[in-house]
Amino acid sequence: MALKTGAEYIESIRSMKMNIYMFGEKVENPVDNPILRPSLNSVRMTYDLAQMPEYEDLMTVISPITGERINRFTHIHTSTEDLMNKVKMQRLMGQKTAACFQRCVGMDAFNAVFSTTFDCDAVHGTKYHENFLKFLKYAQENDLTVDGAMTDPKGDRSKAPHDQEDADMFLHIVERREDGIIVRGAKAHQTGIINSQEVIVMPTQAMGEADVDYAVAFAVPVDTEGITMIIGRQSCDTRKLEGASMDTGNPEFGGVEALTVFDDVFVPNDRIFLCGEYEFAGVLVERFAGYHRQSYGGCKVGVGDVLIGAAALAADYNGANKASHIKDKLIEMQHLNETLYACGIACSAEGHPTASGNYLIDLLLANVCKQNVTRFPYEIARLAEDIAGGLMVTAPSEKDFRAEVTGPIVKKYLQGVASVSTENRLRILRLIENLTLGTAAVGYRTESMHGAGSPQAQRIMISRQGNLAMKKQLAKAIAHIEE
């Protein structure tokens, strides 16, 4: 089964026995939980769209590993065209969900681990690439959603992993056995892990020889014994419990994060992709971060398309669409959004093959892409809020809108242009609230800042990749400076 349907995917998650907690209580049925279900629906769309003929070229590809048509989210990039199609697919997904659709992290982990294991084997004579190819084939043949786990809690940021007072602040190996390893620690901010069948765990930073136990990468099923997930709180999340679809803004789709604890989890030998080869920890981090920073030139742009459309509708419904300053703000929003997309396409078009055969994006341009993502969505959101007006955050609830006494009052006094119902006006304002301030803010606004690494992390990479010495030589040549 190389391509699952959305319904098949949901039932596969339902069959799992994951250890999930939310609001201090264990969640026995996450699939039907009203707070968590929208995030599952977002992932479902990656399966539904892959079944549609009009999206086949973007959502699917023939695997060079299995020879079958697979979901692009499980694909290894073999050309710059693959890299660009990835970004185009992510924009489409953002347009269709206006939320985080959660499979990007696993896709980026696939490609980073693919080339890093190949390089590690060449140096150390290990069999990590063989292990990974076996896992990758399994993921492709079963169309799995695979989470990528990189970010450790880190504890005291001034100390290396081995210097932490609590060794568990970075996930590490606690026991080496003949049949595998035992690991302990946690991974924070785990996007979509409760909606995944498997998780690829990777180191969080470059490491030295003293950190050998922390230089570990592997894959395990998400319902493996010892894994516990604690759902992250999002603004306005309990609105989903009220049964009022208008107040959620985006009633069908959403995202989810979790703190994921690995309490003495066993990893069999054939699922290990790095085990003490500390010099490759930084390589894996750099490649994964580059792929994931490329991703933001697609997914955030797609969500931005929805936000721009919502702002334009709000202007229509308010009767302000002909004002010159409104038109100019919408133009600026589009300019910023397309600039992000251009960066995502550019770092893809400038990609190159690795020794393993898969393609890596241009790391400098990928980091420039993500650096812009830490800024432009904030301005897009600000302009959307400006156009929407204060009613976006002061409108009464849907229950007031439906109530016998208050309903007629709300409908009368919150009417915009006569041709648009008050309900539709409020719905579009709630969508803007959702994207800029509410439950999708972690998938658009705040995630634009911290997802795929902090802004400073990108600036460090830009400094490393920017080749300032070469630029100095160019200036000297033009100025006829000889030293």
Residues recognised as catalytic: 100, 104, 191, 257, 292, 296, 299, 447
How far apart are the C-alpha atoms of 61 and 82, rounded to whole Å? 9
Is-contact 164 156, C-beta < 8 A? Answer: yes
For residue 478, the SS3 value is helix
Largest CA distance in the chain: 85
How far apart are the C-alpha atoms of 461 and 467, rounded to whole Å? 11
Phi, psi for 80 (deg, rounded to 5): -65, -30
Residue 482 is given by DSSP the state: -
β-strand partners of 147: 199
β-strand partners of 26: 21
β-strand partners of 259: 230
For residue 211, the SS3 value is helix
How far apart are the C-alpha atoms of 51 and 30, rounded to whole Å? 25
Cα–Cα nearest to 222, from 256, 253, 251? 256
Report CA Rg, the chain.
23
